[in-house]
Amino acid sequence: MSPDSPNQNEFFYSYSADELDIIPEDIIQLVNADYRADSDAYFSIIAELLELIPPNHEYRSEMKLFSNISFMNDYFKLKVENIVFSLSEVLYKDISESVMVSFFVCTAGDIFTDISMEFSRKEEYLKAYLVDLAGNIAVGKLASRATGNIMEKAGKMGMKATNYYCPGNCGWDLNEQRRIFKLLSGEFAGVRLNDNNMMSPMKSISGLIGIGRNIIFRENTCELCSNKSCIYRDISYRRIK
Amino acid sequence: MDDLLKQIFTSIEKGKINRTSPFPPELKDKDGADELTRQALKEGIHPSEILESGMISAMELVGKKFSRNEIFVPQMLMSAKAMNAALQHIKPYFDSGEAKRKGVFIIGTVAGDLHDIGKNLVAMMIEGGGWEVIDLGVDVKPEKFISVVNEHPASVVGLSALLTTTMENMKKTVADLKTTYPDNRVIIGGAPVTDDFRRKIGADFYSPDPQGAVDYLNAGFTG
């Protein structure tokens, strides 16, 4: 990890593949929890696939703190500087005691998508799927680390931090991503948003973390989500490190 | 003969592609869909019978198991790959007319959306259901769908979107397709898509899982 601070409210972190430590078990728990007999076969395939990610591949995470914020209870809105976010009710409840917020963007780069698409082109769909999952796990781990970084900074100010929340989850409209990138002046952590609100590189994540003295850290944000069959629900890589 | 068809069925259901494939562990060092299908043809079993009794019925079971959360995406992908290995041996008989496809299904992820895994899965399941599949890939513009429908007038179109933001492009694609080809069926799917959305945009069918699409096609567009 190599933290860097462009200014006192903005923080950039870079991780190597070794530091992020994606292991076959991270992926196996997503693919076949009830198929233990297949685990050995999957393990060897996944281990080989993870070898395709160079050890010096850079994972990036950037976050910015904002203290000029206000909440509008009636419509579950959060105003940050001059930008108004429309939150979901559940998200609003979790962060409305915040006195500061942090927005973050993390990316695993293009490598997972590139490798996955190459396997798709060769009709190696299982490998394509497993590499795609590995990329999703990477961004999940990055978001957890970003939350850990913000918790540490909040602690130094005598405050606490919430878990992370992302547009597209917890009832928060995916279109809100546009506002995050506007607030962060377009490109952040090397990630851009296209006209369809899709981040480039694709294996990226953006989100919000609340900071305050009276906030509560919700260990498992999956309980806010209505998608009960999501394969990422309640899995361990989301734990904050 | 029945035994060989049963073995083909099992190899596809379990995702045993060929003798060297490591899945499933309990069929290690046994012939897979590839070798068994070749053997069945060699023994004179009609390609249509292999297709219907050994292959399509196995994929139907796989699709149903997936719908019931009894298997997951990797197992389904392995079954589809085993199906594909078997299909390679049947394909020459489609050309000769000894075996028949049920129709043409054109599939793609809508403009602006680059996600392909769900779309691939549906494509494989529908091909496994006995249809010829034309996969247009990702980020497919409405005019591309229209031009391919033009080449295959009796085709059914499948649209995939993974983002709420690209659902708007799905709406436009359906509108453009229905303007030009009002009689061609359009099926939609993807994580954020719902049947309510399907009604609003005028598509013909929505399925939350691949087997629902296969059932709709094979039942003559009822579902």
pLDDT digits (tens, 9 = 90+) for A92-131: 999 999 999 999 999 999 999 999 999 998 988 889 999 9
Query: In the prediction, which pLDDT does B185 show?
Result: 97
Tens of each residue's pLDDT in chain A, 241 residues = 555 655 679 999 999 988 888 988 888 887 764 555 566 778 888 999 999 999 889 999 999 999 999 999 888 999 999 999 999 999 999 999 999 999 999 999 999 999 999 999 898 888 999 999 999 999 999 999 999 999 999 999 999 999 999 998 888 988 899 999 999 988 899 999 988 888 999 999 999 999 999 998 887 777 777 766 666 666 655 555 5
Per-residue pLDDT tens for A10-36?
A: 999 999 988 888 988 888 887 764 555
Query: In the prediction, which pLDDT does A12 show?
Result: 93
How far away is chain B from the Cα of A34, in angstroms, using its nearest Cα? Answer: 8
Could you list the residue range(s) of the whole structural domain that residue A61 is in? 4-109+137-238
**Whole-angstrom distance, CA of residue B135 vs CA of residue B124:** 10
Query: Are the beta carbons of B89 and B38 closer than 8 angstroms?
Result: yes
Helix then strand then coil, in percent of chain B rounded to 5, is 55, 10, 35
**Whole-angstrom distance, CA of residue A42 vs CA of residue B84:** 21
Domain assignment present for residue A203? The answer is: yes
Query: In the prediction, which pLDDT does A187 show?
Result: 85
| Chain A residues with CB-CB distance to B81 below 8 A | 123, 125-126
Q: Which residue has the higher pLDDT, A125 or B31?
A: B31
**Whole-angstrom distance, CA of residue A111 vs CA of residue B162:** 20
First to last CA, chain A: 13
Residue of B nearest to A32 (CA): B72
Query: In the prediction, which pLDDT does A30 show?
Result: 79
List residues bridging with A71 in a β-sheet.
Answer: A78
Query: In the prediction, which pLDDT does A7 show?
Result: 66
| Chain A residues with CB-CB distance to B165 below 8 A | 174-175, 196-198
Query: In the prediction, which pLDDT does B165 show?
Result: 82
- Determine contact: B78 vs chain A, CB below 8 A: yes
List Cβ neighbours of B43 (8 Å cut-off, separation of 6 or more). Answer: B1, B4
Complex ipTM more than 0.85, yes or no: no
User: CB-based burial of residue B153 (10 Å sphere; 0-12 exposed, 13-18 middle, 19+ buried)?
Assistant: exposed
Domain assignment present for residue A116? The answer is: no
Query: Is the dihedral angle over the CA atoms B194, B159, B133, B135 positive or is it negative?
Result: negative
Domain assignment present for residue A87? The answer is: yes
Q: Cβ contact (<8 Å) for B117 and A198?
A: no
Query: In the prediction, which pLDDT does A13 show?
Result: 93
Domain assignment present for residue A121? The answer is: no
CATH topology of domain B104-218: Rossmann fold (3.40.50)
Across the interface, which of B69, B74, B166 has its CB nearest the CB of A32?
B74
Domain assignment present for residue A125? The answer is: no
pTM of the model: 0.86
Q: Cβ contact (<8 Å) for A126 and B112?
A: no
First to last CA, chain B: 34
Q: Give chain A's length.
A: 241
How far away is chain B from the Cα of A229, in angstroms, using its nearest Cα? Answer: 9
The CATH code that applies to domain B2-96 is 1.10.1240.10
Domain assignment present for residue A86? The answer is: yes
Q: Cβ contact (<8 Å) for B164 and A175?
A: yes
Query: In the prediction, which pLDDT does A235 show?
Result: 62
Q: Residue A193: which CATH number?
A: 3.40.109.40
Domains B2-96 and B104-218 share a fold: no
How far away is chain A from the Cα of B128, in angstroms, using its nearest Cα? Answer: 15
- Determine contact: A41 vs chain B, CB below 8 A: yes
**Whole-angstrom distance, CA of residue B139 vs CA of residue B161:** 10
- Going from N- to C-terminal start, the domains of chain B cover 2-96, 104-218
